[in-house]
Amino acid sequence: MDQKKIGRFLKKLRNEKGLTQEQFAEIINVSNRSVSRWENGVNMPDFDLLMQIAEYFDVHIEEILDGERKTPAPEQETKNTLLKVADYSTNENVIFSKRLNYIFLMGLAAYIVYMIIDIQDLTALPLYDNIASFALGLVLGVLLVGALYTSRHISKIKAFKMRLLKRNK
């Protein structure tokens, strides 16, 4: 996937509707900074947003993922779309996993620092007590951020599935 090409296509679709980035961001309930990043090819929208964007602009997801309008045969179109959705989902999961790994590695490092200070009984010294408190706070913060991050991701998946179920009824 060529993110820059996809970004140019998203910008073209937005301009065809005569919308500013701010207006479009408000319509799909994201920040205008997110829209800017998509259009510059820095980031890609989450899959559930990609479906919402395709629906709003009345294009197929495959067209967005290709960065251009197409009219392939229906069978081939479905096959290509499914392959691209699988590729997109895999890329999204890889990015999610990397971010989550970094968060938990940071928490683990902070916990190790805390344990070393605690085991050495250095908390009697004010400097080490402050470092231990900071490390323990960082561990708690990382656990909280990790929980919120995974729950946000899970809620997006649930929302996506609910929209699919509503469409199929």
Average pLDDT for residues 117-134, to the nearest whole number? 90
CA 112 – CA 110 distance, rounded (Å):
5
pTM: 0.49
Q: What confidence tier does 110 reach under pLDDT thresholds 50, 70, 90?
A: very high
User: How does 91-118 read in b/e, with b if 16+ C-beta sit within 10 Å?
Assistant: ebeeeeeeeeeebeebbeebbebbeebe
CA 120 – CA 114 distance, rounded (Å):
10
Residue-wise pLDDT for 129-139, tens only, equals 999 999 999 99
User: Is 1.10.260.40 the CATH number for 3-66?
Assistant: yes
Q: Determine the pLDDT at residue 62.
A: 81
Q: In Å, what is the CA distance from 78 to each residue of 61, 67, 93, 119?
A: 10, 17, 22, 60
CA 134 – CA 41 distance, rounded (Å):
37
Lowest-pLDDT choice from 74-78, 87-91, 104-108, 137-141: 74-78
- Which long-range CB contacts under 8 A does 132-137 form with residues at least 24 apart? 135/110, 135/111, 136/110
Q: Determine the pLDDT at residue 144.
A: 83
Query: Does residue 92 carry a pLDDT above 60?
Result: yes
84's torsion region: left (phi>0), alpha (psi -120 to 50) or beta?
alpha
In percent, the amount of the chain with pLDDT more than 70 equals 81
Lowest-pLDDT choice from 68-72, 114-118, 146-150: 68-72
Residue-wise pLDDT for 62-79, tens only, equals 888 888 877 654 566 666
Residue bearing the bigger pLDDT, 123 or 81: 123
| Amino acid sitting at position 48 | D
Q: In Å, what is the CA distance from 119 to each residue of 2, 89, 109, 130?
A: 51, 44, 15, 15
Q: Determine the pLDDT at residue 154.
A: 64
Query: Which positions ≥6 away from 96 have C-beta within 8 Å?
Result: 153
Task: Please report, to the nearest 10 degrees, the dihedral formed by the alpha carbons of residues 22, 23, 26, 28 taken in order.
Answer: -110
Query: Does residue 27 carry a pLDDT above 70?
Result: yes
Q: What confidence tier does 115 reach under pLDDT thresholds 50, 70, 90?
A: very high
Can you give the residue ranges of every domain in the chain? Answer: 3-66, 76-168
